[in-house]
């Protein structure tokens, strides 16, 4: 039993470990939240480190998989040699053909898959927060349809080398059209942005279908189909450069503004009460997502479900706070797309599937399971 003094100097008897009325509680009770926070941080760091290790190992193994046998030692030797570290390459030289397979074919593809997966997952998490829509993904604002229309136009014109630039420009035009429609009659709201995005997406899809029906044939039809379904088959070091620069520049800006995304969780009014310029901040995030998604779609085509599914899965590991969610979802997105692309190019060897088919086959069942497990109002 614990005796606490009252205002009249008399003792008040309380059970051991209980807090006196109006008091701050026992030291153990006040330390409990701090212990919970430390425990949560430790768990998060474990998941983050585990995801990073899995990404590095999975990428290395993915480079070894293919029609030609390549060992991990040869992968390391090729990479070390091209990075100017011959002392770390080992004693056995890598044959020129194997070196070309690793450095010119498989390594750019694996790295592009990692960058694209990270960018799409990051964009999806931002879109779901800014629009407060659990079904949002990076293509919600018509970006994919705009990029597809631009890509199809240059392929039909026979200037396929300009495809990344045309796809990126198409995505930005779609974003500009969507946001200008959404702001008619006042500031941009999540509902108007979604509806405007759906309208632009349908318009872009109709334009793409018309061009394919009217002009596509032979090799151009196959190239267009692969791009529309999402494919990393044509990845090169230029693809790695485009996606890496976009992820480094735009992704870093998003990560630095992660705390502002937390404010959108509880609505525009609460965000404004915290001193945030809601309209300008939403514009900023939407433009950032458009730039990042446009760059990723430009090198890979429209790969679905990465930005829709992974943010929901990762929230169960990181919690809702975006400072933890965004880094982890980017790493998990990179790992997921590396593994999906490895399946796409090997499961039906010697034929290769567009990676968008694999992500859809995986994403739909996972999404159904998520809906069943999260029967809350947010999913209604």
Per residue in 192-206, pLDDT (tens digit) is: 888 888 899 999 999
Domain architecture of the chain: domains with CATH: 109-374 (1.10.3470.10)
29-76 tens-digit pLDDT: 556 667 666 777 888 999 999 999 999 999 999 999 988 889 998 898
Nearest alpha-carbon partner for 297 in 136, 126, 171:
171
pLDDT (mean) for 373-380? 54
294, pLDDT greater than 70: yes
Tokens for 339, please give them: 């593994």
Task: Give the relative orientation of helices 237-246 and 107-130 as an angle to the nearest 10 degrees.
Answer: 30
Q: ∠ CA 257-45-284 to the nearest 5 degrees? A: 10
pLDDT (mean) for 294-323? 89
331-353 tens-digit pLDDT: 999 999 999 999 999 988 888 89
116, pLDDT greater than 50: yes
* pLDDT number for residue 69: 85
88, pLDDT greater than 60: yes
12-32 tens-digit pLDDT: 444 444 444 444 455 555 566
* pLDDT number for residue 282: 84
Least confident of 21-30, 76-85, 184-193, 212-221: 21-30
pTM, two decimal places = 0.85
- Phi, psi of 170, deg, nearest 5: -60, -40
Higher pLDDT, 119 or 83: 119
Pairwise CA distance, residues 357 & 354, whole Å: 6
pLDDT (mean) for 136-161? 85
* pLDDT number for residue 9: 39
Cα–Cα distances in Å, from 92 out to 77, 97, 151, 159, 256? 8, 15, 44, 43, 44
Higher pLDDT, 317 or 248: 248
* pLDDT number for residue 2: 44
**Per-position DSSP letters for 90-146, written without gaps between them:** -SSPPPHHHHHIIIIIIHHHHHHHHHHHHHHHHHHHHHHHHTT-TT--TTTTSHHHH
E-strand spans in the chain?
Answer: 2-5, 11-14
Cβ contacts of 327 within 8 Å, gap of 6 or more: 48, 255
- Phi, psi of 13, deg, nearest 5: -90, 125
Least confident of 3-12, 57-66, 77-86, 122-131: 3-12
Specify whether the CB–CB gap between 292 and 250 falls below 8 A.
Answer: yes
Chain centroid to Cα 73, Å, comes to 31
Give yes or no for a cis peptide into 350 (omega within 30° of 0): yes
Assign 12 to helix, strand or coil: strand
* pLDDT number for residue 380: 43
Tokens for 18, please give them: 């209980």
Higher pLDDT, 228 or 45: 45
**Structure confidence at residue 10 as a pLDDT band (50, 70, 90):** very low
Least confident of 140-149, 174-183, 368-377: 368-377
65: left (phi over 0), alpha (psi -120 to 50) or beta: beta
pLDDT (mean) for 358-374? 85
User: How does the average pLDDT of the chain come out, rounded?
Assistant: 83
- Phi, psi of 91, deg, nearest 5: -80, -30
Pairwise CA distance, residues 366 & 280, whole Å: 35
103, pLDDT greater than 80: yes
**Structure confidence at residue 377 as a pLDDT band (50, 70, 90):** very low
């Amino acid at each position: 039993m614990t005796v606490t003094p009252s205002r009249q100097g008399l003792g008040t008897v309380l059970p051991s470990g209980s807090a006196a009325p109006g008091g701050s509680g026992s030291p153990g009770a006040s330390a409990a939240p701090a212990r919970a926070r430390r425990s949560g941080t430790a768990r998060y760091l474990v998941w983050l480190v585990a995801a990073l290790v899995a990404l590095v190992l999975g990428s290395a193994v993915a480079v070894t998989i293919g029609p030609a046998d390549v060992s991990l030692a040869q992968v390391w030797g090729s990479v070390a040699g091209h990075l100017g570290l011959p002392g770390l390459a080992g004693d056995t030289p890598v044959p020129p053909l194997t070196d070309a397979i690793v450095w010119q074919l498989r390594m750019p593809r694996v790295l592009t898959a990692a960058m694209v997966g990270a960018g799409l997952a990051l964009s999806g998490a931002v879109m779901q927060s800014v629009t407060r829509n659990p079904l949002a993904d990076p293509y919600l604002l018509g970006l994919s349809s705009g990029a597809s229309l631009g890509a199809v136009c240059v392929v039909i014109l026979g200037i396929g080398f300009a495809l990344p630039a045309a796809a990126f420009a198409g995505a930005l035009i779609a974003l500009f059209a969507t946001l200008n429609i959404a702001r008619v009659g006042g500031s941009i709201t999540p509902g108007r942005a979604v509806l405007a995005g759906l309208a632009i997406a349908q318009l872009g899809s109709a334009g793409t279908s018309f061009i394919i029906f009217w002009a596509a044939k032979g090799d151009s039809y196959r190239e267009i189909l692969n791009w529309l379904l999402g494919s990393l088959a044509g990845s090169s070091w230029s693809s790695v450069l485009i996606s890496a620069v976009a992820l480094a520049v735009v992704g870093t800006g998003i990560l630095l503004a992660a705390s502002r995304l937390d404010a959108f969780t509880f609505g525009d009014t609460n965000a404004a009460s915290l001193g945030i310029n809601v309209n300008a901040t939403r514009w900023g995030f939407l433009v950032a997502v458009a730039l990042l998604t446009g760059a990723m779609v430009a090198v890979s085509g429209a790969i679905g479900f990465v930005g829709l599914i992974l943010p929901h899965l990762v929230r169960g590991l990181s919690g809702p706070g975006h400072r933890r969610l965004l880094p982890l979802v980017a790493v998990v997105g990179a790992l997921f797309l590396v593994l999906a692309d490895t399946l796409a190019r090997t499961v039906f060897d010697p034929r290769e599937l567009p990676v968008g088919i694999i992500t859809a086959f995986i994403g739909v069942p996972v999404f159904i399971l998520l809906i069943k497990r999260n029967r809350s109002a947010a999913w209604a």
